[in-house]
Chain A
Amino acid sequence: MSTVIAILVLGVIAALFGALLGFASVQFKVQGDPLAEQLDALLPQTQCGQCGYPGCKPYAQAVANGEAINKCAPGGEDTIKKIADLMGVEVQPLDENHEADNSPKVAFIIEEDCIGCTKCIQACPVDAIIGTTKQMHTIITDECTGCDLCVAPCPVDCIEMIPVATTTQNWQWDLNSIPVVQIN
């Protein structure tokens, strides 16, 4: 008899807690960002494709599915660190295949050389190049992410990547970079 009671009591308790858990899982369901979204927010959105994926979001999804975290060249060390923090994994050095130089750059079309082939327009992931067939193209500097993708398709090599110039607006208080005049 006591065994039966014990089983009953335990059974009832189990059912109760089960119901409670079930209720909680429905009621308090966390509508948090899926991992890929969070990762996407960390990426620099240059859409450069250097990671081997067609854009930042696909790479974010791939990382969420276990791809290596060290393939984002424009993001560099900082981005890797942030992703590592989010994913709870070890920080890795940037993939060797990628250039370590991630200083900000913008593309520049040497306009007298441009033949108007539209190849760079097709390559630009953010539609930051204006131009049409047989017309000179130019880059909307504000929209350019410096992804480098337009450089390779150009048949006449008229696109250069120019480092963003330091101005008084974006100066980072690097006192050591100030040219000091030598006297005597």
Chain B
Amino acid sequence: MESVIERIERGSFWQFHGGIHPPEQKFLTCTKPIASAQIPEQLIIPIRQHIGQAGNLVVKVGDKVLKGQILSACDSPMSVPIHAPTSGTITAIQSMAIPHPSGLSEACIILTPDGEDTWKQRHICPDFHLLSKIQIIEKIANAGISGMGGAGFPTQVKVSTLAKIDYLIINAAECEPYITADDLLLQEHSPTILDGIKIIDHLLSPKNILIGIEENKTEATDALKKATADIDHIKICVIPTKYPSGGEKQLIKILTGQEVPSGVLPSSLGMVMQNVATCFAIADAVINDTPLIKRVVTISGQALEKPQNVWALIGTPVGFLTRQCGYNNSKNRHLIMGGPMMGFSLPHDQIPVIKTTNCILAPSEIEIASPFSSTSSKEVECIRCGQCADVCPAQLLPQELQWSAKAKDQAQLAKLNLFDCIECGACAYVCPSQIPLVHYYRVAKAEIRQQKLLDIKAEKAKVRFEARKQRLEREKVARAEKHKKAAEARKARMNTDTSAAKSEKSAVADALARVKAKKAQASIKQNTAENDSEDATTTTTTTSAAESSNTSTVDITVESVAAVDDGKSQVANAIARAKAKKLAQKNQAQIDSLDTLQNNESPSSLTSSQAAPVVIDRKAKVAVAVAKAKEKKRQASAANSPSSQVDIIDTATKALKPNAVNLDSVSDDKATQAIDKKAKVAAAMVKAKAQAKMKASLGTETSFNNLEKSTTNLESNIDLGATSECDVPAQVKNVEAAKTKKTQGEPQTVSNIDTKNLDRKTKIAAAIAKAKAKKLAASSDKSPTSE
């Protein structure tokens, strides 16, 4: 333990494996003072700028906000709030391209500054010792500070760790070429940074504070030394310049000789690392009550006329900053956010600066002629030269990783510790074959993560599938049990010699008879025609046995369909009218008349004028559903419809069509229309039925087929009621009765029974229509040439 400090005092450090010395290019900006950028016309503030969840928005479009006002609240420890970088109006909250290698969009707040830059009320606290630790941590959390070195880890989590801390390491290494943001910050604001360090010191009380700084930053080192001269336990460690010594794990190795075990946070070793910019932000937040709304960004690269460091507001579009530094868009075309080693290309220059943005690089084409761009890949085969392994700071075997990544051998990648790769890019930098190694690792990592998610999902799906199977099994058993019990109860009842039992017995006998009849009918059907269509059966039945069988089927259907019979009449009644309503939906008056109609027609229903809109909604829904079902059916039949049709049916259909048109066009008197429609439907049904009977009596197979076809056509053209009638000839009498009544022009006198009948029919119709549609679709798939 003591030897670490002794070594540091002696000025000798440990070394991490590998590392490279890319051209530093820091001279471009390191001697120029930090300029303050102007306020742009528009600020784009991504809601999530750190690792973790996004906060909840507390503002809405149109709100006027003051500088420093909170925009999103944090409710979980891993979320970080964002603040208004200046005063202005929130003009939009929308998905915008965020600074991410993918160039994808995420929710952003668009703030239009008012130019006045009015601060919110601030509470300056000159001496942080007056605050409790909890208060300080709260201040840090509320200031929205996340690690400003690049990863964006929420700072309040780091500074509130409960682990015993031996070393607080301040990362001022800034090893990446070009970037001088931390360097300049140290040169100009060492005292403030020191305040920040003191605050963290106060919070964590580490035994030692080590400031790691690369030896190429002499001015910053001097400034630091001056600031910390009288503080004993702060050691300034001037380390050799080597990329990537600024990596967290690498800096820990250099300063303490310890390695952070894989998959563990440094705090488990008693170490916490903070970036200098974060220290500055902490001091600003605690002492000046200033949230993190601006940061130093290095704008560099030889494509700029005056590269420099600027204080940029969070949310400033990159293009605004580069223009300020003399960047000519039309001449150059590569913008990198971050350094040349680990930064990412930007798809355009309207990407905003966020809390982790430390550099905008605008290189000239001579400077960085990227061999990795999609258009000019110079990648050649790996010759196993091993230079990548020599420079890898994580001591991985990049070339083997690369082969496994290309082969998608995820087991081998895991064995080669792919996830210990820090993506520093040293391997790709030295590769003589110009293989974009890091890109392969990133893709492989993303794939492995995805695969893990998929595996979890598959496992969950499997469990749920099994659970469902068990549930179905249980339900089956329960049902069987119930039926058994019911059967036993019935048997017991029948054995008792009561009238009820007798009636039940007769009912059973009836049912048996029906079943028999059905069987007989089925055999007849097989004899007369090979066609197995149920439509045919229903339309061609002439025997009373068949009739009765049909009735029974229909009854059963009615029962099943009308399982929920609460307000069923109303719904059913509504179907036809709702359809009409749909045709003339624009007119509110029509809807009103519809209501009246409904009230008139079914006085027994619970509809009231207050409940009307709801009912209409429901009706409309049902109507839409029915319409959809019909559409489905129509498509199916259209696919199936032959060119030749029986003439009579054709004419009948034609006769119906104008009626339908008429139906559509006449929208003044809804009541009359609805009744008209019903009447027409009934007429059509009668026609269809008559034709069907006629055709059936012919008994030939061809006519049989024609009939079926025509029935289908009829169905597709005439209204729902007609369909139901065609299918359910047993009920035709009822319909005829209804028709007579309605044509007499007495809508108010329609009896409840009739209404009910109509309901039932419509319901059955709906059910059957659906069934038919499906069947037709199926049969059309199977035999497109049924004709």
| Residues of A contacting B: mostly | loop
- B641 → chain A, closest Cβ, in Å? 21
Give A134 to B458 CA distance when docked, in angstroms: 31
Of A3-11, A26-34, A64-72, A175-183, the segment with at least 4 beta carbons within 8 Å of chain B is A175-183
- A80 → chain B, closest Cβ, in Å? 14
Q: Does B3 contact A (CB under 8 A)?
A: no
Given the interface pairs A127-B467, A143-B464, the reply to whether A133 lies near B625 with Cβ below 8 Å is no
User: By the criterion CB–CB under 8 Å, are B458 and A44 in contact?
Assistant: yes
Interface residue from A127, A134, A181 paired with B468 (Cβ < 8 Å) = A127
Chain A proximity mask over B458-495: 1 for CB below 8 Å, otherwise 0: 11111011011101000000000000000000000000
Of B7-15, B128-136, B438-446, B708-716, the segment with at least 4 beta carbons within 8 Å of chain A is B438-446
- A101 → chain B, closest Cβ, in Å? 17
User: By the criterion CB–CB under 8 Å, are A156 and B468 in contact?
Assistant: no
User: By the criterion CB–CB under 8 Å, are A168 and B447 in contact?
Assistant: no
* Chain A residue with the shortest CB-CB distance to B621: A115
Q: Does B693 contact A (CB under 8 A)?
A: no
Q: Does B450 contact A (CB under 8 A)?
A: yes
Give A125 to B101 CA distance when docked, in angstroms: 38
User: By the criterion CB–CB under 8 Å, are B464 and A126 in contact?
Assistant: yes
Q: Does B104 contact A (CB under 8 A)?
A: yes
User: By the criterion CB–CB under 8 Å, are B443 and A171 in contact?
Assistant: no
User: By the criterion CB–CB under 8 Å, are B330 and A155 in contact?
Assistant: no
Interface residue from A127, A168, A179 paired with B464 (Cβ < 8 Å) = A127
User: By the criterion CB–CB under 8 Å, are B459 and A170 in contact?
Assistant: no
For B467, the chain A residues whose CB sits under 8 A away are 127
Give A92 to B625 CA distance when docked, in angstroms: 44
For A61, the chain B residues whose CB sits under 8 A away are none
Give the residues from 19 to 58 in chain A that come closer than 8 angstroms, CB to CB, to chain B.
40, 43-47, 55-57
Give A44 to B455 CA distance when docked, in angstroms: 8
User: By the criterion CB–CB under 8 Å, are A180 and B468 in contact?
Assistant: no
Given the interface pairs A45-B465, A143-B460, the reply to whether A171 lies near B104 with Cβ below 8 Å is yes
User: By the criterion CB–CB under 8 Å, are B468 and A126 in contact?
Assistant: yes
Given the interface pairs A45-B461, A168-B98, A172-B446, the reply to whether A125 lies near B468 with Cβ below 8 Å is yes
User: By the criterion CB–CB under 8 Å, are B628 and A113 in contact?
Assistant: yes
Q: Does B118 contact A (CB under 8 A)?
A: no
User: By the criterion CB–CB under 8 Å, are A168 and B102 in contact?
Assistant: yes
Interface residue from B458, B465, B632 paired with A157 (Cβ < 8 Å) = B632
Given the interface pairs A45-B465, A126-B465, A173-B101, the reply to whether A157 lies near B347 with Cβ below 8 Å is no
Chain A-chain B contacts (Cβ-Cβ < 8 Å), number: 102
Given the interface pairs A113-B624, A155-B629, the reply to whether A171 lies near B461 with Cβ below 8 Å is no
User: By the criterion CB–CB under 8 Å, are B564 and A133 in contact?
Assistant: yes
User: By the criterion CB–CB under 8 Å, are A45 and B621 in contact?
Assistant: no
Give A158 to B625 CA distance when docked, in angstroms: 10
For B506, the chain A residues whose CB sits under 8 A away are none
- A55 → chain B, closest Cβ, in Å? 6
Given the interface pairs A125-B468, A168-B98, the reply to whether A156 lies near B442 with Cβ below 8 Å is no
User: By the criterion CB–CB under 8 Å, are A178 and B632 in contact?
Assistant: no
Give A173 to B103 CA distance when docked, in angstroms: 10
Chain A proximity mask over B718-732: 1 for CB below 8 Å, otherwise 0: 000000000000000
User: By the criterion CB–CB under 8 Å, are B625 and A155 in contact?
Assistant: yes
User: By the criterion CB–CB under 8 Å, are A134 and B564 in contact?
Assistant: yes
For A143, the chain B residues whose CB sits under 8 A away are 460-461, 464
- Bin chain B's interface residue count: 35 or more
Chain A proximity mask over B529-564: 1 for CB below 8 Å, otherwise 0: 000000000000000000000000000000000011
Give A166 to B330 CA distance when docked, in angstroms: 31
Give A122 to B453 CA distance when docked, in angstroms: 27
For A180, the chain B residues whose CB sits under 8 A away are 347-348
User: By the criterion CB–CB under 8 Å, are A47 and B465 in contact?
Assistant: yes
* Chain A residue with the shortest CB-CB distance to B374: A176
- A92 → chain B, closest Cβ, in Å? 19
Q: Does B651 contact A (CB under 8 A)?
A: no
For A97, the chain B residues whose CB sits under 8 A away are none
- B618 → chain A, closest Cβ, in Å? 9
Q: Does A167 contact B (CB under 8 A)?
A: yes
For A57, the chain B residues whose CB sits under 8 A away are 462
User: By the criterion CB–CB under 8 Å, are B564 and A179 in contact?
Assistant: no
Q: Does B770 contact A (CB under 8 A)?
A: yes
- B419 → chain A, closest Cβ, in Å? 15
Given the interface pairs A171-B104, A172-B450, the reply to whether A156 lies near B625 with Cβ below 8 Å is yes
For A103, the chain B residues whose CB sits under 8 A away are none
User: By the criterion CB–CB under 8 Å, are B98 and A115 in contact?
Assistant: no
For B458, the chain A residues whose CB sits under 8 A away are 43-46
User: By the criterion CB–CB under 8 Å, are B347 and A44 in contact?
Assistant: no
User: By the criterion CB–CB under 8 Å, are A145 and B347 in contact?
Assistant: no
* Chain B residue with the shortest CB-CB distance to A181: B348
- B447 → chain A, closest Cβ, in Å? 7
For A157, the chain B residues whose CB sits under 8 A away are 628, 632
Q: Does B202 contact A (CB under 8 A)?
A: no
For A127, the chain B residues whose CB sits under 8 A away are 464, 467-468, 471
- B378 → chain A, closest Cβ, in Å? 16
Q: Does B24 contact A (CB under 8 A)?
A: no
Q: Does B414 contact A (CB under 8 A)?
A: no
Q: Does A128 contact B (CB under 8 A)?
A: yes
Q: Does B269 contact A (CB under 8 A)?
A: no
For A2, the chain B residues whose CB sits under 8 A away are none
- A42 → chain B, closest Cβ, in Å? 10
Give the residues from 753 to 784 in chain B that come closer than 8 angstroms, CB to CB, to chain A.
770
Give the residues from 411 to 469 in chain B that come closer than 8 angstroms, CB to CB, to chain A.
439, 442-443, 446-447, 450, 453-454, 457-462, 464-465, 467-469
* Chain A residue with the shortest CB-CB distance to B97: A179
For A171, the chain B residues whose CB sits under 8 A away are 100-102, 104, 446
- A137 → chain B, closest Cβ, in Å? 13
For A166, the chain B residues whose CB sits under 8 A away are 102, 104
- A82 → chain B, closest Cβ, in Å? 11
Chain B proximity mask over A120-134: 1 for CB below 8 Å, otherwise 0: 000001111000011
Give A172 to B442 CA distance when docked, in angstroms: 8
Give the residues from 146 to 160 in chain B that come closer than 8 angstroms, CB to CB, to chain A.
none
Chain A proximity mask over B98-121: 1 for CB below 8 Å, otherwise 0: 101111101000000000000000
- With A113-B628, A156-B628, A168-B98 given, name 4 new contacts (CB 8 A): A56-B462, A173-B446, A176-B374, A178-B102
Q: List 9 A-B pairs, Cβ < 8 Å.
A: A45-B459, A47-B465, A112-B621, A125-B465, A143-B464, A166-B102, A167-B106, A172-B450, A183-B333
Report, nearest first, the 7 A-B pairs whose CB atoms are least far apart: A181-B348, A45-B458, A126-B464, A178-B103, A156-B628, A171-B102, A115-B625
| Interface residue ranges, B against A (CB under 8 Å) | 98, 100-104, 106, 329-330, 333, 347-348, 374, 439, 442-443, 446-447, 450, 453-454, 457-462, 464-465, 467-469, 471, 563-564, 621-622, 624-625, 628-629, 632, 770
